[in-house]
Structure 1
Amino acid sequence: MPASVSLHQLSYSTPDNQPLFSGLDLSFGNERTGLIGRNGTGKSTLLRIIAGQLQPAAGSVSEQGTLGMLKQLVQVAPDATVADQLGVAEALARLDRLEQGLGDMDDAAEADWTLPGRIETALADVGLPAYAPDRPLATLSGGQRTRLALARLILAEPDIILLDEPTNNLDADGRRAVVDLLHRWRGAAIVVSHDRALLREMDAIVELTTLGATTYGGNWDHYAERKALELAAAEHELSTAERKVAEIDRKIQAVAEKKARKDGAGKRKAAKGDIPRIMLGGMKDNSEKTSGENARLANRLRGDAAEAASEARARVEILTPLSVTLTPTGLPTGRTVLQADGLTGGPEGVPPVIRDFSLNMTGPERVAITGPNGSGKTTLLRMLTGALPAVSGTARILVPHAMLDQTVSLLDPALSIRDNFLALNPDADERTCRSALARFMFRADAALQQVGTLSGGEMLRAGLACTIGGNHPPQLLILDEPTNHLDIHAIEQVEAGLRGYDGALLVVSHDADFLDAIGIGRTIALAMNAN
């Protein structure tokens, strides 16, 4: 029987009783399904419920087939090994005992002599060498440990796999390993991801919102086309609704003018004495009654039309990507922005990870720094900005600049977005501040949120608003992995903001779609140094 997962009337609330979803009915078949949605809609929670790690408040989950979930380690136990991460430590110990003549009948009955070969194949499938099983896990990078977790799934051979942001923190090779794994996968796969390249490998997309879940057949590109059609339909509906409001207003005005003319004619006749007094009283009562009924009908019709227009406008605002108009930086085309000559260095106590690096940026150039995990991309940015002293060589930034690191540390988490903006733009008044924040979708009370309470996407958007949204944006903006942990909606908002920026950009990122969307013109790939 084909593998499948079915959710029936599923409901779940957070520990503080905030509902994530209610009465959710959803089915996942024997295909690769991308699960997308804005941060906070419950994507990861839904995976944990399917895996049995969380219990729903109501409803049920039924599965056909065995299930495996990607396990990513944030902290590593000091004695953990590659075999532990692969889940094969006991099975390999059993083979070792038998080879040494120390095994018992149970060992002989349960021994899997194909395991060493399958381990080697699984490691190769995710782009890893044949690590020794007893190698300490702490000696591997986060990206290498993620690949080991993928290899564990391959070894387990489940019918259904659940992957939660599998490409986070992976370099280009690691991302390709995940894409290749899913491309070959013949069972059911449910993948939570904001990685558009990975989502292009899906057979279906499920979008989770506060209103429920919607399934789109096809991959990410097909989903994007459907959403564009939905936006066009919503805009047409809004246009129709607004025309209806205007038409009702014109009719109300025409009726009012006609009545005024009629009432005026009646008053003139009454003044001449052409109408008996008793008839005048009746005419007045009828006029007042008709006026009242017409007013109530007009108000109801206009109210219904205005409500329809308001609902249509809200749908358009939800579907419309962020579009930002920014103050020009005034950066001349030929102006030298950054110079680095023979830069060598790295964290204290280890051999230099950056060696003899040189870079010259001029004008509003957009440059990306790429490279495998551990090649020193973040270290390089810190050296270029002077946050980390170089062992040798020089680095100079020759224009006003700002750097948004992975934690957006230039913002004070104890202050509101508004107060951070004013602190970073001391010459701005309240009107300028509110206008700039509104362009990045922090309107009214949203601008008063404390930075420490923001999500990752909101944090980066607030950082962009506070740095490039004012009257004097920096002429060079430096970004370190800006799309890490952001949902697709947040990434698209950041892309829109950066497309409106006319200064120079220096960006570290593994996200090829993001780099393409913001118009990167030059890419510098760092290689791993043999230390």
Structure 2
Amino acid sequence: MSVTVILSGLAFAWPDSRAVFTGLDAVFGEGRTGLVGVNGAGKSTLLRLIAGELRPSSGDVRVAGSVGYLPQNLILDADRRVDDVLGLAETRAALAAIEEGEAGEAQFAAVEGAWDVEERTHATLDRLGLGHVGLDRRAGQLSGGEVVLLGLAAQLLRVPDVLLLDEPTNNLDLRAKHYVHEAIRSWRGALILVSHDRETLELVDRIGDLRDGDLSFYGGNLSAYEAAVAAEQEAAERTVRVAEADFRREKRELADTQVKLARRQRYGKKMFETKREPKVRMRKRAEDAQIAAGKLRNTHLDRLNQARDRLQEAKDAVRDDAEIRIDLPDTKVPQGMQVLELSDVELATGQVVSLSVRGPERIALIGDNGTGKTTLLHTVMRLAEPRSGTARTFVPARFLPQRLDILDDNRSAVDNVSDTAPSAGDNAIRAQLARFLLRGRQADQLTGTLSGGERFRAALATLLLAEPAPRLLLLDEPTNNLDLASVRKLTQALESYSGALVVVSHDVPFLRDIGISRWLRLGSDRLEEVDPL
């Protein structure tokens, strides 16, 4: 495997002096590398450093060959033409001039033998499901998913030696994700991929785990990485148990030694007071005893400190991946109980929808981007008016939007929960927030300053602890922008939830993990039940 990217003593800090890396050494080779780590670990920052968008504070980034970079949340000028985004505008203009017989030396130089550029471009667009997109169209006419695919097409056409992808499947529907996955599978150069999407990370050859400013590599895809980490953690926990036993033994031995030394001191003092031996000999014996006692005490203290260090080192090797644990009996919905009824509801997007939800059903709402899934949730929550028909909920319902704008970012998590649960006391709220892993300072911190995962947990707590307790929960793309650890925590929380769920998501592994019982697809004209994915 040839080396493509070398990081040597890489350091980087933001203008406010927050350090991201302080001396990172790493080597990336050919093949597909997936970068994982908690939100805020520096994954996107690392890609920008490799791409040259950021300059390191110190250290070196060396890349063998050209670099292609697709950033997260790609934004294009609405008036920019597709061929310009793809880097073809000049070549197409030159070809047009040559065809019209108005070409000069500059036009032929611009073509440089790329006479079939449009054919190759259309083939690449077809591979990504963009065959319908004309090269003269404007970026503003494309959907968000199409913009991402267009950005990927631009990189594929360049054929860089190193391709960097930052969350390329975010906000993409299942069809668009399929095209991205096919592009990743077929990539033959070096690829470094940041993603929280499990299906995407199953396509890589190795995983780079970015943690506490350091990067550890594991061979294989996400499943192999998780198995390796689980084995590491099991070994680390065994080491902690051994180190704890060693530490306790050293403490006992030190205590025993101190008791013995105290007895000797009392005996020596008694001998001196009774003057059973000459003073010179007793003084010499006392001095020797003090020296010996000091050495013995220091030996045991050294051994105790070494045992303490080994214990701390063993504890540091154990990952602190605490789990969300909640108990919300008031959310329970009996089997067969009517929860939601949509009767011939015509959405603002045009579809006529009928739907009945009974008992603690768990429903996945899937479909292509732009079909109106969010509109349907808004209609249920009376945030959007239907054109006709009736939408009724029969139990308390709550809605978690993509942007988490149920939170007041200028107030703490405690205050946000207090607003939705006014009868709950401060201590009760803090106890519940602790179960959502928001303790002490985090619970009192302004939610706008929390990390992505912390802010999400604050929103989830605000939702689930509301009064009355929600017995119908509507979630809109809840795993978007969450790291793998946060997705696991969300899954744990929803496993504890005993009400009905309607979830809009393109994250199929997540939907399977939370036990979806019905799969509904919203198309351009109707809502239909489909087989489980």
- Bigger Cα displacement from structure 2, 137-146 vs 490-499: 490-499
Deviations 1:283-323 (A, max 9, x none): 9979x9698887776666555545544554454352x3524
Taking a change above 3 Å as real, the CA distance of residues 473 and 259 of structure 1, as seen in their structure-2 partners, is: farther
Q: 1:275 Cα deviation (Å)?
A: 12
Instruction: Show the counterpart of 1:203.
Output: 205
Instruction: Show the counterpart of 1:17.
Output: 17
Instruction: Show the counterpart of 1:480.
Output: 476
- Listed as ranges, the matches of 1:67-466 within 5 Å are 67-70=67-70, 74-111=74-111, 112-248=114-250, 250-251=252-253, 277-278=274-275, 301-302=303-304, 304-306=306-308, 308-318=310-320, 320-328=321-329, 329-346=331-348, 352-353=349-350, 355-466=351-462
Taking a change above 3 Å as real, the CA distance of residues 73 and 207 of structure 1, as seen in their structure-2 partners, is: closer
Structure 2 distance, partners of 1:359, 1:235, is 49
Deviations 1:12-65 (A, max 9, x none): 111212111122221111111112222222222221221222211112222222
Whether 1:523 and 2:519 are equivalent positions in the alignment is yes
Structure 2 distance, partners of 1:206, 1:392, is 52
Q: 1:3 Cα deviation (Å)?
A: 6.8
The percentage of aligned residue pairs carrying the same residue is 38
User: What SS is found at the alignment partner of 1:408?
Assistant: coil
Taking a change above 3 Å as real, the CA distance of residues 302 and 529 of structure 1, as seen in their structure-2 partners, is: same
Taking a change above 3 Å as real, the CA distance of residues 166 and 421 of structure 1, as seen in their structure-2 partners, is: same
Q: 1:246 Cα deviation (Å)?
A: 3.7
Structure 2 distance, partners of 1:388, 1:279, is 101
Taking a change above 3 Å as real, the CA distance of residues 73 and 443 of structure 1, as seen in their structure-2 partners, is: closer
Task: Give the conservation status (yes or no) of the 8 Å contact 2:12–2:56.
Answer: yes
Task: Give the conservation status (yes or no) of the 8 Å contact 1:80–1:136.
Answer: yes
Q: Which residue identity does 2:388 align to in structure 1?
A: S
How many residue pairs get matched?
Answer: 517
Instruction: Show the counterpart of 1:34.
Output: 34
Q: Which residue identity does 2:325 align to in structure 1?
A: V
Q: 1:483 Cα deviation (Å)?
A: 1.2
Structure 2 distance, partners of 1:240, 1:106, is 75
Q: 1:76 Cα deviation (Å)?
A: 3.8
* TM-score computed with the length of structure 2 as normaliser: 0.88
Q: 1:94 Cα deviation (Å)?
A: 1.3
User: What SS is found at the alignment partner of 1:316?
Assistant: coil
Taking a change above 3 Å as real, the CA distance of residues 45 and 317 of structure 1, as seen in their structure-2 partners, is: closer
Q: CA-atom RMSD, angstroms? A: 3.1
Deviations 1:232-266 (A, max 9, x none): 11211222222234434555676688899x79x98
Taking a change above 3 Å as real, the CA distance of residues 110 and 275 of structure 1, as seen in their structure-2 partners, is: closer
Instruction: Show the counterpart of 1:511.
Output: 507
Instruction: Show the counterpart of 1:349.
Output: none
Q: 1:211 Cα deviation (Å)?
A: 3.7
Taking a change above 3 Å as real, the CA distance of residues 445 and 107 of structure 1, as seen in their structure-2 partners, is: same
User: What SS is found at the alignment partner of 2:275?
Assistant: helix
Q: 1:520 Cα deviation (Å)?
A: 1.6
Q: 1:87 Cα deviation (Å)?
A: 1.6
User: What SS is found at the alignment partner of 1:128?
Assistant: coil
Deviations 1:445-491 (A, max 9, x none): 11111011123222111111223257964222211111111222222
Gaps of 5+ in 2: 527-533
Task: Give the conservation status (yes or no) of the 8 Å contact 1:414–1:450.
Answer: yes
Taking a change above 3 Å as real, the CA distance of residues 374 and 232 of structure 1, as seen in their structure-2 partners, is: same
Instruction: Show the counterpart of 1:64.
Output: 64
Taking a change above 3 Å as real, the CA distance of residues 363 and 83 of structure 1, as seen in their structure-2 partners, is: same
Structure 1 distance, partners of 2:165, 2:521, is 28
Taking a change above 3 Å as real, the CA distance of residues 3 and 113 of structure 1, as seen in their structure-2 partners, is: farther
Q: Which residue identity does 2:326 align to in structure 1?
A: T
Taking a change above 3 Å as real, the CA distance of residues 500 and 300 of structure 1, as seen in their structure-2 partners, is: farther
Taking a change above 3 Å as real, the CA distance of residues 471 and 142 of structure 1, as seen in their structure-2 partners, is: closer
Task: Give the conservation status (yes or no) of the 8 Å contact 2:85–2:151.
Answer: yes
Structure 2 distance, partners of 1:378, 1:254, is 69
Q: 1:510 Cα deviation (Å)?
A: 0.7
Structure 1 distance, partners of 2:84, 2:390, is 45
User: What SS is found at the alignment partner of 1:120?
Assistant: helix
User: What SS is found at the alignment partner of 1:183?
Assistant: helix
Task: Give the conservation status (yes or no) of the 8 Å contact 1:73–1:145.
Answer: no
Instruction: Show the counterpart of 1:493.
Output: 489
- Bigger Cα displacement from structure 2, 110-119 vs 59-68: 59-68
Q: Which residue identity does 2:214 align to in structure 1?
A: G
Deviations 1:202-246 (A, max 9, x none): 111111222411111111111111111121112112222222344
Structure 1 distance, partners of 2:314, 2:172, is 40
Taking a change above 3 Å as real, the CA distance of residues 463 and 232 of structure 1, as seen in their structure-2 partners, is: same
Structure 1 distance, partners of 2:517, 2:79, is 45
Q: Which residue identity does 2:353 align to in structure 1?
A: F
Task: Give the conservation status (yes or no) of the 8 Å contact 1:399–1:476.
Answer: yes
Taking a change above 3 Å as real, the CA distance of residues 338 and 153 of structure 1, as seen in their structure-2 partners, is: same
Taking a change above 3 Å as real, the CA distance of residues 359 and 299 of structure 1, as seen in their structure-2 partners, is: farther
User: What SS is found at the alignment partner of 1:395?
Assistant: strand
Task: Give the conservation status (yes or no) of the 8 Å contact 1:433–1:470.
Answer: no
Task: Give the conservation status (yes or no) of the 8 Å contact 1:478–1:505.
Answer: yes
Taking a change above 3 Å as real, the CA distance of residues 473 and 311 of structure 1, as seen in their structure-2 partners, is: farther
Gaps of 5+ in 1: 347-351
